[in-house]
Structure 1
Amino acid sequence: MKPDRRTILVSAALNTVEAAAEARGWDAYPALLGLFDSTNHTETVGSLDVEELPIDREVWRLHTTPAVGVTLPYRIGLQAITDALTTVKAPQLRTWIRAQIGPVIAVAFLGEGLDTSDVGRKPATYGPPTDPAGVPVRALTAYDIDGRYYQMLRVRGADTTTTTILDDPSAQVQATAIVASLRRLLAAARP
């Protein structure tokens, strides 16, 4: 699959995922997703299969446990999952990847309400991502095998999303907790 075509397919898949999340409503648990190339197995022009990594939902409850007077953001749970799945002693990620229809081409994180978008935020900032008016945001962040960064944001109650795609994300973007975790997971999932 050519990189420019991959961008279009990943963007379309992320739009579908976010639209489904919007249809289900707010206050959902976060999800860690794999986007798989199913073109090798079909006669069609091509499509992506999106699958949620089966993660114990208790991991996401970490954010509800007060720690030293603050509420932990979902990215802490994502980092813990990443640490567990990318160690040599944890073959669960590779087993899950092998069970899919095609090769993984991107990994995405969908979350809302608590620090789901960490791009441009100060590392010590806790609490919900918000627009300037203080309204919570749902964020869908992805990283693909070409090193491309995607982020879709929907302000709670908005009819549309704001989408950012960076072909060459800056070091600051790549160093954020969510993107760094997605990069590590994608690297561990690739043969």
Structure 2
Amino acid sequence: MNPQRHAAAVTTALTTVEALADAQGWDACPAVLGLFDSTSHTGVGNLDVEELPIDPSVWQLHAVLGTRLKLPYRIGFHAVVDVLTTVKVTELRAWAHAQLGPLLAVAFLGEGLDTSESGRRDAAALGLPVDDDGIAVRSLTARDVHGRRYQILRYRGAATTTGVVLDHAPAQPRDRGIYGDLRRLLAAAHG
């Protein structure tokens, strides 16, 4: 698949995933997704999106018992990636190789609170109320085999999403956070 078609296919698949998540409503468990090239077998069609089976109880750990405090799902995602890229790497590779075509990208879908000033400005521009704790946001973050980064955001109550695709990510001393975890997951799955 050529690079432009690849990026367009990943963007289309991610947009569809986010629209489905929006139709199902808020307060959902996070999901780790693989995007596979199903066209390698058929010559036509779209990417196949498959959820990596993860025990839902893993995501319940973000609620700290007895308090209002909730740890961000990205912390749980980091722990999941640590396990999948080490002690469960064989299972990860078996899952990836059992799909219709080659793994082109991985994604993390999760909800959280945007407490940044830019998030507050974006929410205000959309006419959305902003709580003191921040604004609820659903984020679908992905990375493909070419190092391209994708992100689709939807603020709770917004009719539209905002999205970005970075063909060439800014140089950073270390690839950290969700994008770094997605890179590690892709590398381990390809083994």
1:177 positional shift: 1.4
Amino acid of the structure 2 residue aligned with 1:161? T
For each residue in 1:2-41, what CA deviation from the matched residue of structure 2 results, as whole angstroms up to 9, or x when unmatched? 1111000000000000000000000000000000001111
Name segments (4+ residues, structure 1) moved above 2 Å: 65-71, 171-176
- Classify the secondary structure of the residue corresponding to 1:136: strand
- Classify the secondary structure of the residue corresponding to 1:34: strand
Q: Which has the larger radius of gyration?
A: 2
1:91 positional shift: 1.1
- What is the aligned partner in structure 1 of residue 74 from structure 2? 75
1:170 positional shift: 1.6
Amino acid of the structure 1 residue aligned with 2:76? G
Change in 2 beyond 3 A, CA 1:176/1:156:
farther
Amino acid of the structure 1 residue aligned with 2:38? S
- Equivalent positions of 1:142-161 (< 5 A) are 142-161=142-161
How many residue pairs end up in the alignment?
Answer: 176
1:176 positional shift: 3.7
2:61–2:76: 8 Å Cα contact kept in structure 1?
Answer: yes
- Equivalent positions of 1:47-86 (< 5 A) are 47-65=46-64, 70-86=69-85
For each residue in 1:96-139, what CA deviation from the matched residue of structure 2 results, as whole angstroms up to 9, or x when unmatched? 011100000000000012xxxxxxxxxxxxxx225303321100
For each residue in 1:165-185, what CA deviation from the matched residue of structure 2 results, as whole angstroms up to 9, or x when unmatched? 100112459734111110000
Question: What is the root-mean-square deviation of aligned Cα atoms in Å?
Answer: 2.1
1:31–1:110: 8 Å Cα contact kept in structure 2?
Answer: yes
For each residue in 1:71-94, what CA deviation from the matched residue of structure 2 results, as whole angstroms up to 9, or x when unmatched? 321111111111111116641100
- What is the aligned partner in structure 2 of residue 106 from structure 1? 105
- What is the aligned partner in structure 1 of residue 9 from structure 2? 9
Q: Find out whether 1:129 has 2:128 as its counterpart.
A: no
1:173–1:179: 8 Å Cα contact kept in structure 2?
Answer: no
TM-score w.r.t. length of structure 2: 0.85
2:89–2:189: 8 Å Cα contact kept in structure 1?
Answer: no
Which stretch of structure 1 is more off in the superposition, 14-23 or 83-92?
83-92
- What is the aligned partner in structure 1 of residue 22 from structure 2? 22
1:65 positional shift: 2.2
Change in 2 beyond 3 A, CA 1:90/1:175:
closer
Change in 2 beyond 3 A, CA 1:181/1:66:
farther
Looking at structure 1, the residues matched to 139 and 181 of structure 2 have their Cα atoms a distance apart, in angstroms, of 15
Gaps of 5+ in 1: 114-127
Amino acid of the structure 2 residue aligned with 1:82? V
Which stretch of structure 1 is more off in the superposition, 35-44 or 145-154?
35-44
Amino acid of the structure 2 residue aligned with 1:9? A
Looking at structure 2, the residues matched to 60 and 79 of structure 1 have their Cα atoms a distance apart, in angstroms, of 11
For each residue in 1:29-68, what CA deviation from the matched residue of structure 2 results, as whole angstroms up to 9, or x when unmatched? 0000000001111142x41000000000111112102599
Looking at structure 1, the residues matched to 79 and 187 of structure 2 have their Cα atoms a distance apart, in angstroms, of 16
